[in-house]
Amino acid sequence: MTIQGQKGQERQGRQIALALVGLLVAVPALAAQAPDTVTLDHAIAVALERSRAVAEAEAGVSAANGRVREAWSTVLPDVSASATYQRNFKVQQFFLPAIFFDSTAAPGEVRPVRVGSDNSWFAGLTVEQPLFQVGAFIGVGAASRFRALERERARGVSQTVVTAVRQRYFDVLLALESVRLTEESVARVRQTLAETQALNRAGLASNYDVLRLEVQLANLEPNRRRARDGAAAARRALLLEMGRDVSEPIEVAGRLHEVDLADPARNTAANAQLLALSGPELTLAELDGAYQTALDQRTDVRQVSLNLELEQARLAVERAEYFPKVSVFGAYNVNAQEDGGPSFFGENANQRTTTAWGGIRIELPIFKGFSQSARMQQARAAIDQNRARLAQARDRAADELRTLVAALDEARERVASQGRAVEQARRGFEIASAEYRAGLGSQLQITDAELALRQSEFNYAQAVYDYLSARSNLDAARGTVPARPGALAGAGAN
């Protein structure tokens, strides 16, 4: 083998090695940039786990639990113990008339008298037990109602998060349909342009036909960029709702143009899950039952109702302040003193004394400067406000349900109609293309057919989007949105 041949083999070997190193470096980078495919149930679960609003609401529930425990403390015994040690470096002295100690002392003469010892101890135990306090027991019930209100608020926040994630997910699917349809239109126009250019070279198509298609293609290119930007913005909105970094690359499972409502068995697994997790399927005949469910499950109705109960309990607490309070109490104390070095509570019983007492306390309010009646007046006004809000919430529930059920029914019919329109538009485009190639049709016909096909396909995707959105909003209007990931499996039950 020649020297040049050896050098050529060495050069080739180095090139292969560099290519392998580059491949090893590029493959992990490509893998790291590969988009993560997100399903609807995964998106909802992640959003509930990372939502700051849900975390804040759950903290409110925890605080409400503490308030209930605090309320119970007012009806339980109050036991306290204390102990004190004091070292007297200079024992206090009083001056008394000397005649107290010496009958022969001169009048006005005084003598210092030492009071206390070098060391003194004190220990005590006190107990107080309420016997009759109407406001305390009502306060426990009020705290429990407040806890129920906080739990319902947390449930409502979770439902809001789930509904928002559903809607953002559907927005991404619709934006992807716009991208797909625009790219397909670009591909069809390019193919038609190539065929028209060939016909023009053969003298079978005019320059105007070619120019018209070039203009149409030039108009579609910015639309494709706009559609891609819209899809990217929709993905960022979904990531933001999920609590993830908006710069992460993701893809969503399911495609609107492949959803089949007429024959659910023909749906892909992703689309089947999409339908199952979108919410309930209802008809106008089921409106009365849906309204009753809404009154029982809607979080706004339940929150107003619980707040009404809380204000009624507050009024009862204020009214209970007019009742007397009865409690028993008792105490046991130990005192000790000693001179010299400290010895715990003295060395003998003569240095210690004990005291004990007990009794009953009755408190009867007489006059508090009209503050009590003013608070009762505020509570009554709050009750009237919540009653008005409850009636308004019920009326709003009835209106939303009727509107959404009608919207769902209309979207269902529109999906079926647009499905037939897509088939007809596709057939029309095929006929127009075949006639144009055979020289029997005009370029204007094929342009109109392509535009009709693109519009009908987008209308079908829009109808499916409206259908899924109506189901999701209807689920929220009924108050049956699953508030936890584990409840999602039955979310789509009809």
- Proportion of the chain above pLDDT 70, given as a percent: 88
Span 111-150, pLDDT tens digits: 888 877 888 889 999 998 888 777 776 777 788 888 888 8
Q: What is the DSSP string of 17-49?
A: HHHHHHHHHHHHHHHHHSPEEE-HHHHHHHHHH
- For residues 145 and 310, the answer to whether their CB atoms sit within 8 Å is yes
Domain edges within the chain: 41-74+133-324+364-486
Q: How far apart are CA 32 and CA 461, in angstroms?
A: 32
> If pLDDT is split at 50, 70 and 90, which confidence band does 487 have?
very low
Q: How far apart are CA 280 and CA 494, in angstroms?
A: 5
> If pLDDT is split at 50, 70 and 90, which confidence band does 489 have?
very low
Q: How many CB atoms lie within 10 A of CB 475?
A: 24
Q: How many CB atoms lie within 10 A of CB 328?
A: 14
Copy the structure tokens of residue 309: 């109960």
pLDDT at residue 223, as a whole number = 87
Phi, psi of 248 (to 5 degrees): -70, 135
Q: How far apart are CA 13 and CA 20, in angstroms?
A: 11
Q: What is the DSSP string of 396-444?
A: HHHHHHHHHHHHHHHHHHHHHHHHHHHHHHHHHHHHHHHHHHTTSS-HH
Higher pLDDT, residue 63 or 318: 63
- Contacts (Cβ under 8 Å, ≥6 apart) of 292: none
Q: How many CB atoms lie within 10 A of CB 429?
A: 21
Q: What is the mean pLDDT of residues 66-76?
A: 81
Q: How far apart are CA 281 and CA 284, in angstroms?
A: 11
The architecture that CATH gives domain 41-74+133-324+364-486 is Up-down Bundle (1.20)
